[in-house]
Amino acid sequence: MDKIKEGHKIKAWASSYQEVTRWLAKIQDKSQASCNLYHFCKWTKKTPMELLELKEKDSQISPPPNFVEKFLDDFCSDGNEEFSNSRKYNVSINVKSFFKWNYRDLAKASGIVSLEKVKPYNALSKEGLRKLWNRALNPRDRALVPFVTSTGIAKETLSNLTWGHLEENWEQKDLPCIEIETELLKGHGKGRYKGVRQITFLTPEAKRELINYKEWMEDKLERKLTQEEHIWLETYRPYKPLNYQMLGNLVTSLSDKAKVPFTLHDGRRWINTALEQIGISPNWARKIRGRKVRGEEAPYSQPAINQLKEKFREAVPLLEFTSERPQVPKEVQERLAQMEAEQKELKRKYGIFRKTRHIKSDEADRAPEGENCEDGEHCAAQQIIEEENLAGFLSENWKVAAVLPSGKVVIQRA
């Protein structure tokens, strides 16, 4: 309750100063920024206007006394134990931002804080993400978790994402592509960020949850969602888009309920780890994360996107987490169907008809022994394997003989 009261107090304080209101209109995280400026003003015992007037005096005195810079240096000094190191760092950034947008830039050398990471990054696991996903209260929240761990889209961009960013007929695509223009990414296309675009994809499970959420939202709205509408909306009337702060609060609340440490930025680390494991090139990983591509011109042609999609496909088993049992990849399912069709055609053509062998329960976990083989495995006519290992054996000219009640697969040499 104290935090809520303090929040209302700081909001009222910020709105009473035109200079603060002007500044907040130009930045994303208004709540935390105004809180940091408030505590700096409280520490200096000066109002925002008084601080700006102090900076104005610098231009009238030679050499300039740099009163505000010295205040900021003292605030960030090691002797000030009232605030943590990371809090000082954020206050320094917000104070400099306040002066910048009021056209009174502070010296860059002021308010330097040596920020050393004390806490390690959240150690994500499929079990933890599945628990987080299962604790979601509605289809929107259930869609958000696999969405961010599939696409790696940053929080600021998420708050501005529309249905039009997904490729046409995305519901029918196996790995839907999402293209995001430079204005919605870090740097907003200015300076060294000019021309940056993000090309990323949805895993099958992320697509499934997004379709469920979209249908659920359309039922609540009693109409179809348009391409121009934001993807992430409030779940109550008037169904406004979730802003930067709301998205952060939503994930924090979900993390607390599930007792699984997680932030939206952890979603970016999850996908980056998967991309590293499949050996993707640094430039391709940068495209997927929406970062500046080094030493490459116009890398966003359709052939390049198709190549990127095929490489992303290799990371799908590492990214997906909603099912405890590994899913048979689509290409394996297609090959099994093709083999079955070929076998049926051969039987029809040559008149070969015989009953399918049924595996009895007492045989379920026994593999036929190999003849004239030291280990009884690599020379065996048949083997029993786990479903997730099936693809590798199929590529070595083995074929499926039967599926056991346990879910394991009997294979034999083709």
Least confident of 87-91, 227-231, 395-399: 395-399
Mean pLDDT of 329-356: 62
Output DSSP code: residue 60.
G
Show Cβ contacts of residue 25 under 8 Å, excluding neighbours closer than 6 positions. Answer: none
Burial 34-44 (b: 16+ CB within 10 A, else e): bbbbbbbbeeb
CA distances from 167 to 163, 176, 179, 268, 377 (A): 9, 7, 8, 21, 47
* Mean pLDDT, all residues of the chain: 83
Q: What pTM was computed for the model?
A: 0.60
Residue closest to 324 by CA, chosen among 407, 410, 211, 411: 407
Residue closest to 147 by CA, chosen among 137, 157, 386, 26: 157
What is the predicted pLDDT for the residue at 348? Answer: 65
Mean pLDDT of 319-331: 73
| Tokens encoding 203 | 């895993």
- Domains in the chain: ranges and CATH: 2-101 (no CATH), 126-319 (1.10.443.10), 330-413 (no CATH)
pLDDT for 149-197, tens place per residue? 999 999 989 999 999 999 999 999 999 999 999 888 876 767 767 778 8
Output DSSP code: residue 138.
S
Mean pLDDT of 46-58: 92
